[in-house]
Amino acid sequence: MSAPTPASATGRSRRELHLAAFFPFGPHYDWTSVADPTTYYDAETYAALARSAERGLFSAMFLGDSQRLREHLGRVNDTVVTGRPDQLVLFAHLAARTRHLGFVATLNTTFMAPADLAARVATVDRLSAGRAGWNVVTTNDAWTGANFRRGGYLARSERYRSAEEHLAIVHALWDADQGATVRRTGAHHDVVAAATLPPSVQGAPVIFQAGESDEGRDFAARHAEGIFSRYLEPAPAAAFAADLRRRLVAHGRPADDLRIFPAASVTLADTEAEAREKAEWFHRRTWTDRMVVAVIEAVWGRDLSWLDPDGPLPDVDPVSAEQTRTHGVVNSRDNPVETAAAWRRLSAEQGLTVRGLVDSLHAAAAFVGTPSSVADRLAAAVRAGELDGLNLTPQSVPDGFDDVVDRLVPELQERGVYHTRYPGTTLRENLGLRAPVRHRLRAAAG
């Protein structure tokens, strides 16, 4: 087991920002920056990004995941990268090419057997000498479940109950001595399995979570050590952090026991005006006419390739009064007719074109400015306790982090909110985390 982290000894009196390399789905990249789109699946592309992140002392690399290729109007969506390499295979490869960077895999409790997941994550953790993490996600998505011949088998109300059982089995296997047998029987899982590896050198892989619901936040407060959020503006970010701290204390944990990572891009330039111009150029480069119209098509449920993105919304209605999110990426709630009516009202009130409406609905979470001004904003947010880290989305590959590493990181270090070297050798140490949650709660209970 690694030595106690500074957070264990100090109660985390000094706040620091943590950066993570984050790869979501959607129009986040300048797709035209590479000649061959298969570049997005090449090991060397990811290795170059990982090396850049490690040069910038990033704490981790985090990948979003999808268990089925996303669709648009019943066809595989070809306007964004819809598939990913197997995260754990990729991370095992990258672990051999880095020394300090952590690797957080998004893995689904609904579709992955707990014993198999425990063994695979533990393998990456062992190969990387304690640099692995697991972003625990759940779903009752029948569309995805069909890929596993499980369409619709799990009620929405049961997904976190299933996740609780799943996580308990994984934890039991991670805590057991190599070769020891773990037996667990529950409503969703009935397992007899042996621990395949010795316990982790960091105590256990770090647990992340990304749920927004009350159930999700409570799950994070009971189990997680990091949480991904969508809150960047001061007031909602502070409210989200305060709510999580309250829940942590209610579950017997210190209020500073969870690291909050909102996702954002960073656009830097020598002046504020140049940075805004650069961000606008990137936005227009990524939100093409086709992608703008696709947002409307997803709600209307029909081909609208004739639609002028700089004109009004279509005067025809959606083809269906009901829609779910279980068939891929969509951009509405469950009632397309109501959504279309709301969008028409908004467009009329604000005089918006189709493009203007899509821009207002998909305003990117971003920090735009000079290295100094962006560092000031991030330092203030960290010191105010609004966030602990940033899931940084690159705008291109494989050089998408270089500006942040070369220009922003030094400014953050000058302000005393970013480390000048890696604090330790494990992901847990580098995030300033205490021992695994369940180990401390078990010890406190005697």
Helix axis angle, 354-361 relative to 289-300, nearest 10°? 80
Asked if 222 and 348 sit in the same domain, the reply is no
Residue 64: predicted pLDDT: 76
Is there a domain that residue 120 lies in?
yes
Is there a domain that residue 2 lies in?
no
Residue 312: predicted pLDDT: 96
Residue 37: predicted pLDDT: 66
Asked if 232 and 155 sit in the same domain, the reply is yes
Asked if 37 and 185 sit in the same domain, the reply is yes
CA atoms of 281 and 196, how far apart (whole Å): 51
What string of DSSP letters covers 313-341?
PPSSPPS-S---STTS---S-S-HHHHHH
User: Quick one: average pLDDT of 412-428?
Assistant: 97
- 3-class SS at 7? helix
CATH code where residue 162 lies:
3.20.20.30
pTM of the model: 0.90
Q: Which of 343, 362, 381 is the last residue of a domain?
A: 362
* Domain count within the chain: 2
Residue 334: predicted pLDDT: 63
Asked if 305 and 392 sit in the same domain, the reply is no
CA atoms of 314 and 304, how far apart (whole Å): 8
Residue 7: predicted pLDDT: 39
Residue 60: predicted pLDDT: 98
Asked if 335 and 392 sit in the same domain, the reply is no
Residue 274: predicted pLDDT: 98
Answer yes or no: are the C-beta atoms of 227 and 136 closer than 8 Å. no
User: Quick one: average pLDDT of 9-35?
Assistant: 68
Whose tokens are 């904003």? That residue is 377
Q: Is residue 24 predicted with pLDDT exceeding 90?
A: no
Asked if 407 and 296 sit in the same domain, the reply is no
| Full domain range(s) for residue 331 | 273-362
Q: Is residue 252 predicted with pLDDT exceeding 90?
A: yes
Is there a domain that residue 177 lies in?
yes
pLDDT over 70, % of the chain: 88
Q: How far is CA 356 from CA 308, 343, 348, 405, in A?
A: 12, 11, 11, 33
Q: Is residue 345 predicted with pLDDT exceeding 60?
A: yes
Asked if 68 and 191 sit in the same domain, the reply is yes
Q: Which of 166-170, 248-252, 281-285 has the lowest mean pLDDT?
A: 281-285
Asked if 354 and 374 sit in the same domain, the reply is no
Annotated binding site: 65, 106, 160, 213
Is there a domain that residue 79 lies in?
yes
Asked if 36 and 120 sit in the same domain, the reply is yes
Strand partners, 107: 136
Q: Which of 333, 362, 391 is the last residue of a domain?
A: 362
Is there a domain that residue 11 lies in?
no
Is there a domain that residue 258 lies in?
yes
Nearest to 69 by CA among 287, 331, 329, 393: 329
Asked if 350 and 383 sit in the same domain, the reply is no
Q: Give the CA count within 13 Å in the CB-facing half-sphere of 276.
A: 4
Q: Which of 313, 336, 362 is the last residue of a domain?
A: 362
Is there a domain that residue 440 lies in?
no
CA atoms of 98 and 130, how far apart (whole Å): 13
Residue type, 326: T
Is there a domain that residue 253 lies in?
yes
- 3-class SS at 376? helix
What string of DSSP letters covers 251-297?
TT--TT-SEEEEEEEEEE-SSHHHHHHHHHHHHHHHS-HHHHHHHHH
Share the mean pLDDT of the chain: 88
Annotated binding site for FMN: 65, 106, 160, 213
Asked if 215 and 190 sit in the same domain, the reply is yes
Asked if 358 and 230 sit in the same domain, the reply is no
